[in-house]
Amino acid sequence: MISKQELSSSLGVCNSTISNWIRTGLLPDYQKGQEGYSPRTIEDIMSQIQATNKLKSRVNRSHKHELQIVTGTLSYAESKLLVEWLLQLSERHQLSVDALMCCLSIKALDDAQLIKMDWANSQLSSSSDEFTLFLQTWLDEQGLPQDLEPLQRDLLGLTVPEKEPDFMGVIYESMRSLSEKAKLGAFFTPAELVEDIVLPATASVLDPCSGTGTILLHVLDRAHAPSLIHLRDVDSLALRIAKVNFALFFQRIDELVHTEVMDVLEEQPQERFDYIITNPPWGAKLDKKRKKELRKTYPELKSPESFSIAVFNALGKLKRGSQTGSRQNSRLIFILPESLLYVDAHKGIREILFERQYKIAIRFFGKAFKGVMSSVIRLELQRGKRQLQLEREGQSMEIPFELLAQNYFRPPALETKAELQILQKILDRPSFTLAQGDSTFGLGIVTGNNKAHLKNEPAPGLEPIYTGKELQPFAFDAPRKFIRFEPAKLQQVAPLQLYRQPKICYRFISKELKVVADFKGSLLLNSINFIVPDRRLSIKALCAFLNSPVASFLYQRLFNSIKVLRRQIEHFPIPQAFKEYSPALENLHDWQVEGNEGRWELHVLTAKMYGLDDLETEVLWKTMGGEDL
């Protein structure tokens, strides 16, 4: 007999997914009196899953095993050609990735005359006993034939491109599967994210997630003493490549960089550095036990997220003084996902960064990593008087810390100083939130099996159910789906009376607020959530207010999210003047529900509620895509 846990493991899904599939009728439960599935039942289950395409629809980045060509400063064509040529060479000589990187390293060092390699006898020598032992040990571990001259002859045609200092890192990262990189949360750092950084030649430098040394190879000066450079990573092969990379970079082996296998998520040794610069793992895949351990180890963070832990540990390693006696010289520089600034799960590390005495600059780079959807920031931190500077597309602005505290330590996603001034004026206005009243929030319906439960045509016993695609500001388009509403057969359902009450419906996935005041007791799919407001608030007026350009400006700048979450709506600052302006808002609601244009009039009214002047009102109108006046 095969248990549900064994079935979930073999399918690569979690136990809760199996339970949901059983509840919604996609899979059968155990037969009465049995504690597992028979082989015949498993065959039927697999056929059913393949027929419904459930597993295919769940494929994500972690399951992709194809190579991802990394380019560095090379062109895609150059990098792809080199990788494919080296793959063929590896197959011809039966080389593992480890063995290939070892042989490429030896060839590059031999060509640079830093070592002397006897390919016929697999023996090497150099002026450094330490470096010779390091390379010879690496080579001997590969179990290659003693005579490597055939391999040497094939490698004669390979020239290391001088314009890419981490050429071997490019090759290594290209040969690692995308699934392996996703599991570790580690991706090759593009040079443009760091190439403007200058490190003093006398500074001690740590890269705690160095990989093959990409970042420091692009920012160090060759006058730097190798012994001041410390590289760490969980990938021992990457560190070996890094040691070779820096021998080639400095063109010397009498003094070597320090390399050490160490997990940045573990508690760290007590030590201090002038500069700590890295691109830590993003979203490393951790099992439940590991996450539980990390939460216990780092209670301040309230999250086991890998990059938050990396930042936290680095803060404790930053020197409090420097050779010049100034506290301002030591610096932390991290490449991070922009989500650190806005997602609730990262509030713990934001609070630490923005409440302590740190001078912080954040530069925005957009989507800089190939194959990674997350936008990128560079965080630079020094000890000193608290300051937060945002740099985006050449514009720089200082963000008041009072604003951060008001916004769960999220820096506002602003593009201009004019926007900052308007935002501050809005937030200074007396306001209230829906969390302060008696409002109720509800979730749209999750059927668990849309194909079985949703119909494309109306029929007796079916009623319309709206999706986010039909929800437009102020009104629903005609329904496209219909359902027989039987809550016991559905995976997630709010209490029925909530759906049937007058309510505010809002799109769950949206870059701006889009809401409808529903007085028909409509059913909603899970791409729409809803609010039953405090009875003292006008539903029509609240609908008009949330559909206004001013409200969308606040939502976008404060939360910077494509998911409209309950907590965002609950804590949305509604001006105290709302009740005074409710009759005018209701009129604008009815006017637009009838199909009339009233966006500008709504914008002027809500801007007035926040005390904005005519110029600020016009600036905000254009900012939110309004037509020229």
Higher per-residue confidence, 527 vs 177: 527
Which pLDDT does position 323 carry in this prediction? 46
Mean pLDDT of the chain: 87
Which pLDDT does position 15 carry in this prediction? 66
Which pLDDT does position 562 carry in this prediction? 86
pLDDT tens digits, residue range 405-451?
A: 878 888 998 888 899 999 999 999 999 999 998 999 999 999 999 99
pTM: 0.79
Mean pLDDT for 472-489 is: 95
Query: What are the DSSP calls for 521-586, one per residue?
Result: --EEBTTEEEEE--TTS-HHHHHHHHTSHHHHHHHHHHH--SB--HHHHHT--EETTHHHHHHHHH
Provide the strand spans (E) within 285-437: 331-337, 358-366, 376-383, 387-392, 395-398, 431-432
3-state SS, residue 80: helix
d(CA 607, CA 63): 49
Mean pLDDT for 42-48 is: 66
Higher per-residue confidence, 536 vs 35: 536
Higher per-residue confidence, 3 vs 331: 331
d(CA 169, CA 246): 12
What is the share, in percent, of the chain residues with pLDDT greater than 90? Answer: 64
pLDDT tens digits, residue range 284-295?
A: 777 889 889 999
Name the pLDDT band for 392 (thresholds 50, 70, 90).
Answer: confident
What are the structural domain ranges in the chain? Answer: 2-59, 440-624
Sheet holding 523-524, edge to edge: 454-455, 481-483, 463-466, 523-524
Residue pair 529/442 in contact by the 8 Å Cβ criterion: yes
d(CA 612, CA 605): 10
Residue 534 has pLDDT above 50, yes or no: yes
Name the pLDDT band for 59 (thresholds 50, 70, 90).
Answer: very low
79: which 2 tokens?
Answer: 């990098």
Range 47-50, long-range pairs (CB < 8 A, 24+ positions): 49/11
Which pLDDT does position 327 carry in this prediction? 44
> Which has the closest alpha carbon to 158: 81, 102, 91?
81
pLDDT tens digits, residue range 69-125?
A: 666 656 667 777 788 888 888 889 999 999 999 999 999 999 999 999 999 999 999
Which pLDDT does position 446 carry in this prediction? 95
Under CATH, domain 440-624 is a member of which superfamily?
Answer: Adenine-n6-DNA-methyltransferase Taqi, Chain A, domain 2 (3.90.220.10)
Residues counted in the chain: 629
pLDDT tens digits, residue range 501-521?
A: 999 999 999 989 999 999 999
Q: Which helix (H) or strand (E) holds 107?
A: helix 97-111
Which pLDDT does position 93 carry in this prediction? 92
